[in-house]
A and B are shown apart, each in its own frame.
Chain A
């Protein structure tokens, strides 16, 4: 393969990972607070449809993206209300909402099927304003490798990278972030420290939902511009994002790695397609899933009892080696994930 093709392909991977990143980071923040937002698959579809519809009616891309965020926030608040206030199973409500949002998007989106609409400029720096592009931008864009890889990306790709790092800094490097970890791990302890656990859970679920809601419009207004209903190929992305969240061990950086890996695998599937004519394209597109199960297995297997028992029976040096390997891969969820909190 030519170097140029590879670089353009990798630039495509960065862009294609953007919506997955929004979903994964949004979910990571939500789950850090102890709430599972299982509705992602539907939320992404509904926010994609809603974002496109609003942008199409108003002609404003900004309103389209805001509509997506509003949808994500609303759905998340519904989950927060039902689990925090009503103590209904988060998994049940999230699952029903997944189906509801998906069918709603198909039902309400029918008038917007296959019509042209506004689309995000494919490069942020080259479209900053009317008139000439500044010489600095010109120079950046023409740089070898990093030019096409980084500086020709659109706004959402930049934003997705920004979201990764801000989430990481917030969770691991700030005081409120420490409290966020607390309400997901040991809400009772956080409560004693003066945290209003349930209010914070509401807030973080809403913020997480808003970020998840960016994923849909990133598809419908940029990567796969337009709304194509059932054949838009978005059904399933949310489930992938949920698995990547686990693979990411609730750490934004590791989650981002998972999202990029996934986008890379999908791109490889497309690239390899011509050299594997016997395999239908639909099969290569799902190739990441068995890998995803495998990684989930690797991430979780050290949490099981029989592995512990087997390791105890191993010779010391082998045991240490395997323990080290498993610990590097291991991810344990926030201890109070999915558990409602009562202050009394």
Chain B
């Protein structure tokens, strides 16, 4: 048993080393000194109080999207529509804030209602993908993808159309909300403890839900083998729908946080890839919720740190995406190789 754990670790370290080796080669190919580049990433992520602040701001939506897709993954569902669900959350939050900002409602209540609207928006959009799957037989991957494009179009339509800035609409988004409608931040920073607390709380709830409750167990049963779960008396499609709704709610919350706590307005690309990144993190942690926080932290650090590469070496910031997906790919392949070749004897 002990030996097995070491083999596991060896394969994962091997995948990590291979990933680093490949990215090093890529950096060389792009004409950047690799070691200085890695140092720049580290410094860009942890080097100053300001960068650490950005890191934490990046971390919290990623925690939420990862926690969300963990639920759908547990139910055996590939919720690729997560990007659109996050955008829909942001749209609903913006809508609610616009609706209430002229009224005499206290700002705190307006923010709370805005965030709740975001949660509902995300859940609705996920529910649509779920309904297409459950009642229409449309695979959630394709339903979700289509809905992603629709929500992107809706965001752009709103930013350039009905919600455009006075004068002419632009890619920089809608008119920023009044300061009173911003999530309170720590003094002299842009970091909101509210969003960080909410995200961590959501993650803890999901960990408990998936690992320690009857609901989590049944959900996983549906994911592993829907037929036998159904025969055991688990209402299968209801559980799938619930997984979609829960995931959408969490992801919608991420969208709401981006609007109320980070950008204070609606942007054309408000989901910024956090949804897909959440899918990558879940795969990397092999769907184990307890590992989400550190791995998401690492991914956020790579994202934030890579901005330095652009500034210092004129490298495209997509390097962070290359690093992350390469790592996930090699870990997946390493895990497959381990199971394939070590089980034989």
Which A residues fall within an 8 A CB radius of B? 38, 82, 85-89, 91-93, 95-97, 99-100, 102-104, 106-110, 229, 236, 239, 242-243, 246, 278-280, 282-283, 285-286, 289-290, 292-293, 296-297, 300-304, 306
Q: Does A236 contact B149, Cβ atoms closer than 8 Å?
A: yes
Chain B interface, number of residues (Cβ within 8 angstroms):
50
Q: Does A106 contact B316, Cβ atoms closer than 8 Å?
A: yes
Q: Does B30 contact A296, Cβ atoms closer than 8 Å?
A: no
Q: Give bound CA distance, A292 to B150, whole Å.
A: 11
Q: Say yes or no: is B10 at the interface (Cβ < 8 Å to chain A).
A: no
Q: A301-B137, A303-B137 are in contact. Are A87 and B329 (CB under 8 A)?
A: no
Closest to B23 in A: A107
> Which of B54-62, B194-202, B251-259, B320-328 is near enough to bind chain A?
B320-328
16 contacts between A and B (CB under 8 A): A82-B333, A97-B329, A99-B324, A100-B326, A103-B321, A104-B26, A106-B316, A106-B318, A107-B315, A107-B322, A108-B30, A279-B157, A280-B160, A289-B150, A297-B132, A303-B137
Q: Give bound CA distance, A236 to B84, whole Å.
A: 14
Q: Does A293 contact B80, Cβ atoms closer than 8 Å?
A: no
Among candidates B138, B145, B146, B319, residue contacting A290 with C-beta atoms closer than 8 Å: B146
Among candidates B132, B161, B316, residue contacting A107 with C-beta atoms closer than 8 Å: B316
Would you give the shortest CB distance from A232 to chain B, in whole angstroms? 13
Q: Does A99 contact B156, Cβ atoms closer than 8 Å?
A: no
Q: Give bound CA distance, A107 to B325, whole Å.
A: 13
Q: Give bound CA distance, A88 to B286, whole Å.
A: 12
Among candidates A92, A246, A306, residue contacting B332 with C-beta atoms closer than 8 Å: A92
Q: Does A306 contact B135, Cβ atoms closer than 8 Å?
A: yes
Closest to B284 in A: A96
Most B CB within 10 A of own CB, among A109, A293, A297, A302: A293
Q: Does A95 contact B322, Cβ atoms closer than 8 Å?
A: no
Q: Does A96 contact B137, Cβ atoms closer than 8 Å?
A: no
| Neighbouring B residues of A99 by C-beta, 8 Å | 276, 280, 321, 324-325
Closest to B330 in A: A96
Would you give the shortest CB distance from B126 to chain A, in whole angstroms? 15
Q: Say yes or no: is B13 at the interface (Cβ < 8 Å to chain A).
A: no
| Neighbouring A residues of B150 by C-beta, 8 Å | 286, 289-290, 293
Q: A107-B30, A280-B156, A283-B156 are in contact. Are A82 and B276 (CB under 8 A)?
A: no
| Neighbouring B residues of A290 by C-beta, 8 Å | 146, 150
Would you give the shortest CB distance from A104 to chain B, in whole angstroms? 6
